Structure 1
Amino acid sequence: MAQATVVNGRTAVVTGAASGIGRALAQRLAQHGCPVAICDWDEAGLEETAAAISGPVLARRLDVSDRHGALAFAAEVADWAPAPLGIVVNNAGVTVSQTAAEGSIEDDEWVMNVNFWGVVNGTRAYLPILLRQRSGAVVNVSSVFGLMTFPTQSSYCASKFAVRGYTEALRHELRGSGVNAITVHPGGIRTNIVKNARFHVDDQGGTDHERMVREFARIARTSPRKAAKTIHEGVLKGKDRILIGPDATAISLLTRAVPVHYFDVIERGMKLVRR
């Protein structure tokens, strides 16, 4: 287990803060005395998040896959920050629902550029600052699909497994530096990720996007506010890996117990849910 990180009262950076986990986490950190620097591609949603924060806030529209843009934002944050940097949360994420056989390279690149390279860009932009301080944490959001795989989510799973591998390797590199690298694996969280997906087909061969949105809403039991609380408290406790929701905990146990044939179990469970 990593050492506990001082977060409250220090500057926090959160990507993907226009909605969902990012918005809830930015609001929670601000409530605990953190000046927050937030970014997102969705400028209108970002403005709503900023308006709901009473403390110091720096909000900028940013495509996290833009390496130069990420570096420029980090430089602006460093000049603006009223307090030392405590936590960087690389949270922005997107998904595609399509089979690997029918998938397009454009969709694959979109998912990897945001989900994986966005994490790499955010990590590299702020890591020099944290290392100079010899304190703070990089918190990279993977998924339960960084623990297991699922049909029609090959690009998303690849990106989230990549986030997991990258962050765990980074954590080993940072031993003794005073800086922590933490992986977050959310289960079903009530966010807009499925609604905003590039949808082509679901795992049953269906092409009704609205049906998939409704189905996700039925199984996504954890609120963004609860997810933010779990992340915040996990970082404060010095956890290396943070699982969000009972489904994430169950999947983590299942993939360790049945590492090859776990999907047989999941498929039977999904059939019961759909009924």
Structure 2
Amino acid sequence: MNFLAGKTVLLTGATGGIGAEVARKLSAAGARLILTGRSATKLKVLQHQLAVEPLMYCCDLTSTAEQQDLLQFCQQHGGIDVLINNAGISQFGLCQQQQFNDLISINLLVPMQLCQLFLPVLRQRKGQIVNVGSAFGSIGHPGFTGYCATKFGLRGFTEALQRELAGSDIQVKYFAPRATETSINSSDVVQLNQQLGNSMDSPVWVAEELIKQLKSNELRRFLGWPERIFVRLNGVFPALVDMALKSKLTVIELFAEGKNH
């Protein structure tokens, strides 16, 4: 039996690299999709690539008024069974170069607000929430101070909400990819990963892993090797990860300051 057939899934950040692949796989599985993004043009292009025609909702999710409009739109179309908080941005640079407001708003505040907003709807449908985090939500990494802070926050929020709703029919899940081959990574980040020997996963594979978690009872899924080991190691022996990253700091600073060209 196909768990996803006939389920209504609200997917944010649908036109991004991971989001578009998740949309394709959900559509192929027979899910009914409500897709959000900021670009009506990109949403229209994606719409024509899917097996089942989705509902599209172009909006700026940092606006609480537009969040309310999205909730009303979903209710008008019968509610949702699954909320996937996938929208996100990244910044690479030294701390003094970072712009924290957008990172916090999009990566952390928006998914928190959408979870809060859609909880009554999901209670009615015994639904699921999947918050898309990152390996950097467990490992503080030089050059990504703002991004790490937001993903650490999202992981903590998800864990707390999981435990708060443990006696309910709602499942709350945390999904943590490592570096993925999408446009969220600047050319400097791609070159840095190549220089350090860090692997990057294809968005197709990452989407497959998210779908597997969605179909399972697994509350946490971390992708990548050795990243999964680093996540565990950082939780128990952070000083070891300190030393490992310190040995790479000169290279990271070079790329973060744009002096690698």
Q: 1:9 pairs with 6, 9, 14, which one?
A: 6
Q: Do the aligned residues in 2 keep the contact of 1:12 with 1:36 (CA within 8 Å)? A: yes
User: Distance in 2 between the 1:212 and 1:163 partners?
Assistant: 22
Cα offsets for 1:42-90 (capped at 9, x unmatched): 3332222211112131112222222221221122122124xx6321100
Task: Please identify, of 239-248 and 12-21, the stretch whose mean Cα deviation from structure 2 is larger.
Answer: 239-248
User: Distance in 1 between the 2:28 and 2:130 partners?
Assistant: 19
- Is residue 214 from structure 1 mapped to residue 191 from structure 2 by the alignment? yes
- Is residue 128 from structure 1 mapped to residue 120 from structure 2 by the alignment? yes
Match of 1:97 in 2: 92
- Is residue 182 from structure 1 mapped to residue 173 from structure 2 by the alignment? yes
Cα offsets for 1:121-157 (capped at 9, x unmatched): 2212321101122x11111111111100111211111
Q: 1:88 pairs with 83, 88, 91, which one?
A: 83
Match of 1:202 in 2: none
Q: Do the aligned residues in 2 keep the contact of 1:111 with 1:155 (CA within 8 Å)? A: yes
1:68-217 superposed matches below 5 A: 68-81=65-78, 85-100=80-95, 102-103=96-97, 107-133=99-125, 135-195=126-186, 210-216=187-193
Q: Do the aligned residues in 2 keep the contact of 1:89 with 1:138 (CA within 8 Å)? A: yes
Q: Give aligned-pair identity as a percent.
A: 22
TM superposition shift of 1:249: 1.8
Q: Do the aligned residues in 1 keep the contact of 2:12 with 2:87 (CA within 8 Å)? A: yes
Distance 1:7 1:171, change over 3 A: farther
Task: Please identify, of 260-269 and 124-133, the stretch whose mean Cα deviation from structure 2 is larger.
Answer: 260-269
TM superposition shift of 1:38: 0.7
| TM score, norm. by length of structure 2 | 0.86
| TM score, norm. by length of structure 1 | 0.82
- Give the total of aligned pairs: 250
RMSD: 2.5
User: Distance in 2 between the 1:185 and 1:38 partners?
Assistant: 21
Aligned partner of residue 245 in structure 1, secondary structure:
coil
Match of 1:199 in 2: none
Q: What are structure 2's unaligned runs of at least 5 residues?
A: 256-261
Letter in 1 for 2:174: T
User: Distance in 1 between the 2:160 and 2:188 partners?
Assistant: 38
Distance 1:172 1:219, change over 3 A: same
Aligned partner of residue 193 in structure 1, secondary structure:
coil
